[in-house]
Amino acid sequence: MTPTPPHSAAPAAIRVQNLVVRYGKRVGVDGVNLDVPAGSLFGFLGPNGAGKSTTIRTLLGFLNAHQGSAHIFDDDCQRNSRNIKKYVTYLPGDVRLYPWLTGHRALQMLSAVRHEDVATAGNQLMQQLDLDPTVRVRQMSRGMRQKLGLVMTLAPVSKLIILDEPTSGLDPITQLELGAILRNRAELEGTTVFFSSHTLSEVEQLCDSVAIVRAGRVVESALIRTLQDRALRQVHLQYHTPEAASNAVLPDDLTFVERRSTIVIAAFEGDAPRLLDWLKSHAKHIVDFSITPPDLESLFHQYYKDDHDVAVESTPVAERSTSSLPPKEVAP
């Protein structure tokens, strides 16, 4: 049974119902449901090949659904794809750019295509992301090409920004800067950000809500804080001697995980005051203790246990290109 998306009073920027997309006989997306509130930072989390890019391509009209429906701000993603592209910007997971392109030239082309002046916003973004606007793509590193793709995605005015693995190739400082830019867009301008990733930490730090996808199905959809409330904490108890640690008897709130010499590690699920009372009563045996933040990593890994059936995404022959700029060099 597909999880019910978290309830929100805000209108839906994206609404997907029972979406099915097949690649021949193989199912790439199998009954996906999504409800992304307008103005939110929404994470779409899953391993490579889980169905994230297939879902995004269907939202943008690059793929047709075999079953179900998908809407962006009430526009049908198949029937109204042209209108959707007027107010949505998208960064694909495999950015392809003309080798002769520079940042300045990219902004000129983008302004002409979208019939809006994006130069001011684009130049500011290049400064924020530390990108030289005069360097040609053929001379850029992978990270620099990714920065240029982000500038072209973020410079136009948009109601919805869709980013497919946007931090690929970016250094940690640039990742932090990108996070700040996206938070400002959501909080100050009300822009919706749909952020696809296979990395838990960046989704947890940036997003309000998350949908976890596995083998083409959404296996969880919830607010980040709801998942944090459900995640277990770890308690590290340090005893005087290894023998004392080996003979330790834990209360019901603690589940033994492992022992490392004088340290006992246990998962904590229960009442904090009761744990503190137990620690006080055992103070003569315990030298020190620490309690970690909620362990979302362990919680998320539960969704991927025995994950041998994750479909590997491929591009069907009939699929239209997701990039407006071909990979081969074309003279300016």
The arithmetic mean of pLDDT across residues 75-93, rounded, is: 94
Q: Are residues 284 and 187 in the same domain?
A: no
Within-domain flag for 311:
no
Instruction: Say which CATH number the domain at 116 has.
Output: 3.40.50.300
Of 208, 228, 248, which residue is a domain's last?
A: 228
* pLDDT tier at 58, thresholds 50, 70, 90: very high
Least confident among 200-214, 220-234, 257-271: 220-234
Paired sense of beta strands 192-197 and 160-164, if any: parallel
pLDDT for the residue 270: 74
Token pair in block for residue 149: 């793709």
The answer to whether 105 touches 119, Cβ cutoff 8 Å, is no
Distance CA 161, CA 89 (A): 5
Residue 242 and residue 110 share a domain: no
Instruction: Quote the mean pLDDT of the chain.
Output: 85
Domain's final residue, options 188, 205, 228: 228
Residue 151, domain extent: 12-228
The rounded distance, in Å, linking the Cα atoms of 197 and 46 is 7
Same domain for 220 and 269, yes or no, is no
Residue 203 binned pLDDT confidence (cut-offs 50, 70, 90): confident
pLDDT at 59 over 90: yes
Residue 319 included in any domain: no
Residue 74 sits in the same domain as residue 182: yes
Number of structural domains in the chain = 2
What's the pLDDT band for 10 if we cut at 50, 70, 90?
low
Q: Which residues contact 13 (CB under 8 A, 6 or more apart)?
A: 36, 37, 38, 39, 40, 72, 73, 159, 160, 192, 194
Q: Are residues 285 and 138 in the same domain?
A: no
Is the residue at 327 inside a domain? no
Token representation of residue 118: 């994006």
DSSP annotation of 62 reads S
Residue 195 lies in a domain: yes
Q: Does 87 score more than 80 pLDDT? A: yes
Q: How confident is the model at residue 275 (pLDDT cuts 50, 70, 90)?
A: confident
Q: Is residue 304 part of a domain?
A: no
C-beta of residue 159 within 8 angstroms of C-beta of residue 13: yes
Residues 126 and 241 in one domain: no
Q: Is 52 found in the same domain as 163?
A: yes
| Distance separating alpha carbons of residues 212 and 103, to the nearest angstrom | 35
Residue 324 included in any domain:
no
Tens digits of residue pLDDT in 149-177: 999 999 999 999 999 999 989 999 999 99
Return the pLDDT at 238: 94
- Strand-pairing partners, residue 42, are 194, 209
Do 246 and 121 lie in one domain? The reply is no
With H, G, I as helix, E, B as strand and everything else as coil, classify residue 241: coil
Q: Residue 267: which CATH number?
A: 3.30.70.250
DSSP designation for 31: E
Indicate whether 168 and 284 sit together in one domain.
Answer: no
Same domain flag for 251 and 179: no
Task: Note whether residue 2 is domain-resident.
Answer: no
Mean pLDDT, to the nearest integer, of 201-205?
A: 84
Angle at 52 between CA 317 and CA 22, to 5 degrees: 40
Query: Do 198 and 127 meet the contact criterion of CB atoms below 8 Å apart?
Result: no
Binned at pLDDT 50, 70 and 90, residue 314 comes out as very low
Give the pLDDT confidence score for residue 15 in this predicted structure: 96
- Write the burial class of residue 266 (CB in 10 Å: 0-12 exposed, 13-18 middle, 19+ buried): buried
- 145 and 260: one domain? no
- Tell me whether residue 205 is in a domain: yes
- Hey, what amino acid is at 263? I
Let me know whether 168 and 242 are in one domain: no
Task: Estimate to the nearest angstrom the gap between the alpha carbon of 202 and the chain centroid.
Answer: 7
* Signed CA dihedral, 74, 79, 83, 89: sign only: positive
